[in-house]
Amino acid sequence: MGNDSSGGELKVHAFADGAAYARQIARRLEVGFAPIKLHRFPDGESLVRVAPSAGRHAVLVRTLSDPNSKIFDTLLAADALRHAGANRVSLIAPYLAYMRQDKVFHRGEPISQRVIGRLLGEAFDSVLTMEPHLHRVKSLGEVIPCEASTVAVASAVARWVKREARRCVVVGPDGESRKFVEAIARAAEAEWIVGEKTRYGDRRVKIDFPRIPGVKHAVIVDDIASSGVTLAAAVRELRSHRIEPVDAVVVHALFAPGAMTLIRRAGARRVVSCDTIAHPTNAIKTASLFAEALR
C-alpha cells in the first residue's frame, strides 16, 4: 500500500461511473483501489457502501457532471469513508459543477457556488479539481472552506497541440480564456490570439478577432463546451478570414444535444476534449495530473 505525503496509508475510492478514471490514478500512485456501491430505495433514497477498510487517507474520485444526481451520494460517501477508518478524506472532482453562479445575477437567485462550496468544505479535508470556471473569485479556496486547489491542464493540452497541430495559432474565444490560452501556447511554442465576444443571448454570440495571424491552422481552446454556440461562432469567424483547418479543444465536454452538430456545421475539422467527463471526443488524458498533485 502506498503512502501520502504525510506518511499515511492512502486508498483510492470511486463509484462505478468513475472507476476507470480512478483506477488510473491508483495505478500511477501504486496504491489500492476500492469500488463504492450504490443502492437506490424505491422512494429514491440512496444507500452508499464503501470498503470496510478505507485507508487512513481516503481519496474519492468523482466527476460532478450531472451534479444533482451525484452530489448528495458523494457527501454520503465522505461520511462512510470516515466511519470506515479514514482520518483524512479528499475529493478529486475532475469536473466541478455549480461554479458559474458566483453572484446574484437576477433578484431572487441563489449564489450556487457558495452553497456547493460549503457542503464540500464540510464533508472533505481537501478538494482537487481542474479548470473550475472561476470568474469573479481568484482561487478555489475562496469558494470551498478546506484545502482546495486547482490542477493545471495546460501542459496536457499543449502536448496534444504540439503532436497534432504543429505550426498552428492557439485561439481563445474571449478575454476570460487569455491566461489559459497563453499558457498552452507558451508550452506548445505556438502563436496565440484571443477574441472579443459579444453575447446577445444564450444562443446568439458574436466573436471578433482584432488581430489575425498569418498562420493558416488554428486550434481554439476553451475550458467548457456546453451549447457549442461560442465555439461555433469562433470557428465561423476564423474561417471567414480564410484560416483553415480549424480544430477545437475543450477541457470539459458537457456538449448539450445538438452542440456537436452546431460546431461541425460551422466548419470545425476536429473537436477533441480532455477526459474529465466521459465523451466520444475524449483524446487528452488527465488522471496522471491528479496523481502527480497527490504525490
Which amino acid, residue 15? F
What are the two backbone dihedrals, phi and then psi, of residue 27, each rounded to the nearest 5 degrees?
A: -65, -40
pLDDT tens digits for range 17-64: 999 999 999 999 999 999 999 999 999 999 999 999 999 999 999 999
Mean pLDDT of the chain: 92
Q: What tens digit of pLDDT does each residue of 135-191 get?
A: 777 889 899 999 999 999 999 999 999 999 988 999 999 988 899 999 999 999 999
Supply the pLDDT for residue 17.
Answer: 94
pLDDT (tens digit per residue) in 269-278? 999 999 999 9
Backbone angles phi, psi at 75, to 5 degrees: -65, -40
Per-residue pLDDT, averaged over 192-196, amounts to 94
Beta-sheet pairing, 204-208 with 196-201: antiparallel
The C-alpha cell at 233 is 461562432
pLDDT digits (tens, 9 = 90+) for 82-109: 999 999 999 999 999 999 888 888 899 9
What pLDDT sits at residue 202?
66
User: Is residue 76 within 8 Å of residue 60, measured between CB atoms?
Assistant: no
What's the pLDDT score for residue 212?
A: 83
Of residues 290 and 2, the one with the higher pLDDT is 290
Q: How far is CA 274 from CA 61, 73, 144, 251, in A?
A: 16, 25, 24, 5
Domains of the chain, CATH where assigned: 10-151 (3.40.50.2020), 154-284 (3.40.50.2020)
State the pLDDT at residue 6. Answer: 38
